[in-house]
Homo-oligomer: A and B are copies of this chain.
Amino acid sequence: MSLVIVGSVALDSVKTPFGEVDEALGGSAMYASMAAKNFCRTRIVGVVGEDFPQQHLDLLASHGIDAQGLARVPGRTFRWTGAYSDLNVAETLDTQLNVFASFKPELPDSYRKVPIVFLGNIDPSLQMRVLGQATGAQTIALDTMNFWISGAREKLLEVIRKVHILFINEDELRQLTGERNLFAAAARVREMGARWIVVKQGEYGAMAVGPDFLFFAPPYPLGKVVDPTGAGDSFAGGCLGAIAEAGGLSPSGLRRGMLYGTVMASFNIENFSLDRLATVDRTAIDARYAELLSILRLDSGSL
- Which among A58-66, A99-107, A178-186 touches the partner chain? A178-186
List of B residues within 8 angstroms of A201 by Cβ? 204
- Cβ of A189 to closest chain B Cβ, rounded Å: 13
Identify the stretch in A157-165, A217-225, A231-239, A275-283 within 8 Å (CB) of chain B at 4 or more residues: A217-225
Taking a contact as CB atoms under 8 Å apart, the answer to whether B182 and A203 are in contact is yes
Q: Is the CB of A224 within 8 A of B86?
A: no
The answer on a CB contact under 8 Å between B221 and A218 is no
Residues of B within 8 A of A215 (CB): 295
Contact check, A181 vs B214: say whether CB atoms are below 8 A apart. no
Query: How many residues on chain A are close to B (CB under 8 Å)?
Result: 30
Q: Which of B180, B181, B184, B216 contacts A295 (CB 8 A)?
A: B216
| Chain A, 257-303, CB within 8 A of any chain B CB | 295-298, 302-303
B214 with A221: CB separation less than 8 A: yes
**Interface: A205 (CB within 8 A):** yes
Q: Please tell me if A24 contacts chain B, counting CB pairs below 8 Å.
A: no
Contact B86 A295, beta carbon cutoff 8 Å? no
Q: In the docked arrangement, what's the CA distance between A222 and B181, Å?
A: 8
- Contact among B86, B204, B224, B296 for A296, CB-based, below 8 A: B296
Q: Contact between A302 and B295 (Cβ–Cβ < 8 Å)?
A: no
With both chains docked as a complex, state the minimum distance between the C-beta of A289 and any C-beta of chain B, in angstroms: 15
In the bound complex, CA of A187 to CA of B219 (Å): 16
Complex Cα–Cα for A214 and B224 (A): 17
Given A184-B223, A204-B204, 9 other A-B residues pairs in contact with their CB atoms under 8 A: A86-B180, A181-B225, A182-B203, A201-B204, A205-B216, A216-B219, A255-B297, A296-B296, A297-B302
